[in-house]
Structure 1
Amino acid sequence: MAGFGQNRHGPERPPARQIRLVVSDMDGTLLTPDKQITPQSMAAAQALQLAGVPLCLVSSRPPGGMEMYFAQLRVSTPYGALNGGTLFNPDRTIRSSLSLAPQTVQEALNLLTAPQVDPWLFRGHEWLVRDARNPLVLAESQTVQSTPTQVGDLRACVHDIGKVTGSTADHAMLQEQEVHIGRKLAGRASVALCSKWFLDITPLHANKGYAVRQLAADYGISVGEVACIGDMNNDIPMLAIAGLAIAMGQSTPDVQAYAHCITTPNTQEGWARAITEFVLPRCHTAPAPHYAPAPANAAPPP
């Protein structure tokens, strides 16, 4: 993997000279492996605020699993849950929401039938599971501080679904499923690993790139003025369009190929170092962008 600093094997487009918005992933990026925010990262987040640069979070997590960190970070900005498919205003009301077609949800459930895979459904603030006692459900419930709803048959809950997740401890099998299901649902859904344990299936345009475009538009700036930080395959859509793309040090070469810069891993203050050494030097004096979302029924940016 590449070392800390500018990525010699990164994208051909040059990194932005000025950054006016930061969009960050959470797990594996802002958060340590034990799901904490370090004092150094909190200080870096405050430095962004002092520089007049908003910090927005976009995650595969459900909204409740994101909101639990806002007070600690002292942020009151829009955010994107379910891989960016559901965007929320700073007051936690829904800005916009994309959902999978019911038949696509049904097919996704049919594809996630291996005995070791437990499928979950997400709809707004709802998390629907087959077995609330499943070890992965229990672990995730503690991580995101959310209580799932156990339903008898997920196939009866296929309407207005923002995300289908396949969960398993079999990492190798999940990588194979990412390729297989991605092919089966091509043109109808986005399919990407968000961690070693979770495979996310979201509406075709519900990815972090969509969220970044929407957030930039709502702040009245160009995507070229946005810095994005991430570590997993589901972060690639936003890294691919960011004015400044930063990959975490533990990310794979596939992810790092989209990054202008590589920081250290999330076990070694990678997020704080990315903000301090790559982003803040590009936060030149400029009016702080103002969040002014278009009407909810307006067409999303291309």
Structure 2
Amino acid sequence: MTRIALLVSDVDGTLLTKDKVLTAAARAAAQKLHAAGIGFTIVSSRPSIGMGFLIEPLAITLPVGAFNGSSIIDPELKPIEQHLIPPATARRAIDLLREFGVDIWLFTNDRWLTANPDGEYVAHERHTIRHEATIVTDFTPYLDQACKIVGASSDAPLLARCETAMQEAVGTEATAVRSQTYYLDVTPPGHDKGTFIEAMAKRLGIPTEAVATIGDMRNDLPMFARSGVSFAMGNATDEVKSQAKFVTDSNEHDGFAKAIEMVLNYNETA
């Protein structure tokens, strides 16, 4: 077996509890990774501006993946590698979300834009990323800066239908996948959490087999497929669990910390 040299974790639903809390057990688990000489970083559908509060408590010194891995940023949140949605595709995505009647957000590297400050998930997102939205009346001036476009709705079946329609509408010009049952993310083409794993392995000079990953949603599957060891959270769907090598406990019961113990034990027997 190949020893694990790097662990990459999803954030929401994995590293954090449902109330967006980083538990003491999660912090301690990250410290154990550092003490064992195992690299540690995070990748998330979150925007760059929503990752900063995790850097110091987790002692992250490696690059971090934002926008489902389509942007790679340093620990100070400055872009190392950034990809954007083509402007025409961004316009098409916004028009389709409007047709489905869901709230629309556009993220640049440093701003969260919305036309509806009273949207049903605006307060939730503000709490999640710890950043205020910029209110705009027109997304057009920002279409050439779009790192991510989000459709937000509590109507999960509607958003599932929107996801299918979006995938057909954008084709190979963007990636469209739900990061939560209530968020549909449209991100730059050809880049996902799997390409982030490949980029990190290349940066560290290790094989992808030496990378362990942990996540809970369908957008985590590309990184599962490109890592040597993968963990699905106990709160993940059966589909996600079926694609992981191991299943840990839920994010409400320190599943992340328990997965880290499994990684450390794995290395002892490798």
Scaled to the shorter chain, the TM-score interval is: over 0.9
Q: 1:267 aligns with which of 252, 260, 267?
A: 252
1:146 matched to 2:131: yes
Runs of 4+ with deviation above 6 angstroms: none
Structure 1 Cα separation of the partners of residues 161 and 5 of structure 2:
38
Residue in structure 2 matched with residue 183 of structure 1 by the alignment: 168
Q: Please give the residue correspondences for 1:15-54 in structure 2 after superposition, counting only pairs within 5 Å.
A: 17-54=2-39
- Number of the residue aligned with 1:156: 141
C-alpha change, 1:284 and 1:95, in structure 2 (3 Å) is farther
Would you tell me which structure has more helix in proportion to its own residues? 2
CA shift for structure 1 position 64: 2.1
> 1:267 & 1:228 partners in 2: Cα distance?
19
1:147 is aligned with what amino acid?
A: E
Partner Cα separation in structure 2 for residue 171 and residue 253 of structure 1: 17
Where does 1:1-302 land on structure 2 (aligned, <5 Å)?
17-114=2-99, 116-277=101-262, 279-283=263-267
Deviations 1:11-46 (A, max 9, x none): xxxxx5310001100000010111111221111111
Structure 2: stretches of 5+ with no match in the other structure: none
C-alpha contact 2:100 2:162 (8 A) present in aligned 1: no
Cα distance in 2 for partners of 1:213, 1:267 equals: 30
CA contact (8 A) 1:247 1:263 kept: yes
CA drift at 1:283: 3.5
> For 2:25 and 2:136, how far apart are their aligned partners in 1?
42
Which segment drifts farther, 97-106 or 33-42? 33-42
Percent identical pairs in the alignment equals 36
Q: In the TM superposition, what is the alpha-carbon distance from 1:77 to its structure 2 partner?
A: 2.1
SS at match of 1:237: helix
Q: CA, structure 1 residues 67+285, in 2 after alignment: closer, same or farther (shift >3 Å)?
A: farther
The superposition leaves residues 131-189 of structure 1 with CA deviations (integer Å, 9 ceiling, x where unpaired) of: 22323112211221111111111133210211111111111111121122112222111
Gaps of 5+ in 1: 1-15, 287-302
| Distance in structure 2 (CA, Å) of the matches to 1:187 and 1:194 | 19
Equivalent residues of 1:19, 1:284 under 8 A apart: no
Kept in 2: contact 1:109–1:155 (CA 8 A): no
Give 3-state SS (helix, strand or coil) of 1:37's partner.
coil
Contact 2:10 2:43 in 1 (8 A): yes
The CA distance in 2 between the partners of 1:43 and 1:156, in whole Å, is 44
- When the two structures are aligned, how many residues end up with a matched partner? 270
Q: 2:37, 2:269 → 1: CA distance?
A: 9
Matched residues in 1 for 2:67 and 2:113: separation? Answer: 14
